[in-house]
Structure 1
């Protein structure tokens, strides 16, 4: 699989997804955007959330709902055809290497790093800020998988130069306490 081509496809799909969600729900105060995959490296999907969606969140769990893409209102919304095509390509590539665990580990890590690189590139280009006029919380996550704490911390710092970074890191510091 040519990861440079895949990276461009993910970038194009991410931009389209965000623009579609913003067009439909921008008045709700979009504050976040994520790309996420699964542990089997078969998918890449977008997610976004809004301040309006957070209005009725229980205070005790507010930060979880604010920062966990699986709980966001606009999960898997936007650029549906583009993301479906990406997922089809991923599954086809995985099928070719069905019984090769060593190959899979490298493929999985390359897919995850590619998604993170796309988000970082969009952040550096101020893609989200140019559209919304404000900072957006960015994250990459994997369903049914937990990053090591330091790896997650590095990811948050890498993708966010805003108040969300500080709030997230403070929330992380409280985990397990």
Structure 2
């Protein structure tokens, strides 16, 4: 698979998805955007959330709902055709290689790294800030999969130069306690 081409497609889809979400839900104060995949590396999907939906959170789980894309209001919304096309390509690549062990691990790692690189590029270009006028929490995650703590910490640091990074890292320190 041509991962440079795939990164370009993911970038264009991410931009379109975020713009669509902002146009539809900007008055709800969008504060987050994520790309996520699955353990089988068959998907890339967007997610976003708004401060409006966080106004009455369960105090015990407030940070979980704030930072866990699976709980966000706008999951798998935006740039539907573009993300569906990306997912079709991923599945075709997986089928043509029959998921051989080493090949699959390399493929999955490259896919995950590509998603993080796209988000980092958009952050560095101030894409989200230019649209919303403020910092946005960014994340790449994988459904039904847990990154090693240090890997997740690195993703958060790479993608966030804002108050969200500090809050997320402090929240991470409470896990398991």
| RMSD of Structure 2 on Structure 1 (CA) | 0.5
Which residue of structure 2 lines up, in the alignment, with residue 90 of structure 1? Answer: 90
| TM-score for both structures, normalised by structure 1 | 0.99
Q: Which aligned segments of 4 or more residues in structure 1 are displaced greater than 6 angstroms? A: none
Cα distance between partner residues in 1 of 2:106 and 2:13? 23
1:56 Cα deviation from its structure 2 partner: 2.0
1:141 and 2:141 aligned: yes
Q: Distance in 1 between matches of 2:84 and 2:127?
A: 23
Separation of aligned partners in 1, 2:93 and 2:99: 12
Q: Could you tell me how far apart the structure 2 residues matched to 1:124 and 1:58 are?
A: 33
Structure 1 match to 2:122: 122
Superposition pairs for residues 1-177 of structure 1, below 5 Å?
A: 1-177=1-177
- Name the CA distance, whole Å, in 2 between partners of 1:106 and 1:146: 18
- Give the structure-2-normalised TM-score: 0.99
Instruction: Report the CA distance between 1:152 and its aligned residue.
Output: 0.5
Count the aligned residue pairs. Answer: 177
Q: Which runs of 5+ in 2 are unaligned?
A: none
Question: Equivalent residue of 1:174, what SS?
Answer: coil
Gaps of 5+ in 1: none
